[in-house]
Amino acid sequence: MVFSKAIAVFVLIFIISADGYGQVTTDTTARGVTLESPDANRIKLDPSAAKDPTRAALLSAILPGAGQVYNNKMWKVPIIYGGIITNVYFLDFNSRRYLLFRDALQIARNPDDPRQNPFPNLNEDGIIRNVNYWRRNRDLNYMVFGIIYAINIVDSLVDAHLSGFDISDDLSLDIRPSYENMYAGSSLIGLSVKLKF
């Protein structure tokens, strides 16, 4: 229902903009060729804002989040540490459960062990399945920790590379529906993408 309403609104906007496009007149009296300076289309760099990518990556590798602070993107630091702390919590939880079931398996396999089996209702196969399950979860948490650490470094590196680019209001991306009259009474409907920099 919501999807059909969204389509109806899009079609209505498209039809209204197509009618407005037909009212645009172009100047056909202009003569000659207009040349632009080759410097007009270059992306401008702000040297005062440029950061050293190697330093940002090294700082993030030494202390997660330090590269983001160096790049003046302090809002990313709580996200990084939130991911790390959450991952460490689940890593600890899965490790404790793995060790508990591993010890239970050792007790179940050794009848001479004086310790009491904490899972008397589980047979040896059930304990083995739990050992494998919690070990796999623990190992996945180690992988997630490595991924978070790598994303932290790559983010600071890329952010430092892009820090000197001009992102003023002169840059814009405009996407609009378009309608063009073609020969023999046919028309062309589509999307118009304009990039201004």
Highest mean pLDDT among 100-114, 122-136, 180-194: 122-136
Residue 170 has pLDDT above 70, yes or no: no
Give pLDDT, residue 111.
Answer: 79
- % of the chain residues with pLDDT over 90: 46
Q: What secondary structure letter does DSSP report for 109?
A: H
Give pLDDT, residue 26.
Answer: 57
Nearest in space to 61 (alpha carbons), one of 138, 150, 174: 150
Nearest in space to 107 (alpha carbons), one of 129, 122, 92: 122
Backbone dihedral angles phi then psi of residue 122, each to the nearest 5 degrees: -100, 135
pLDDT tens digits for range 111-159 = 787 888 888 888 889 999 999 999 999 999 999 999 999 999 999 999 9
In what helix (H) or strand (E) does residue 190 lie, and over which residues does it extend?
strand 187-196
d(CA 65, CA 147): 14
Give pLDDT, residue 191.
Answer: 85
Task: Please state the rounded mean pLDDT for residues 36-55.
Answer: 66
Give pLDDT, residue 126.
Answer: 92
List of residues 6+ apart from 51 with CB closer than 8 A = 70, 71, 159, 160, 163, 164
Nearest in space to 138 (alpha carbons), one of 107, 103, 100, 108: 100
Backbone dihedral angles phi then psi of residue 140, each to the nearest 5 degrees: -65, -35
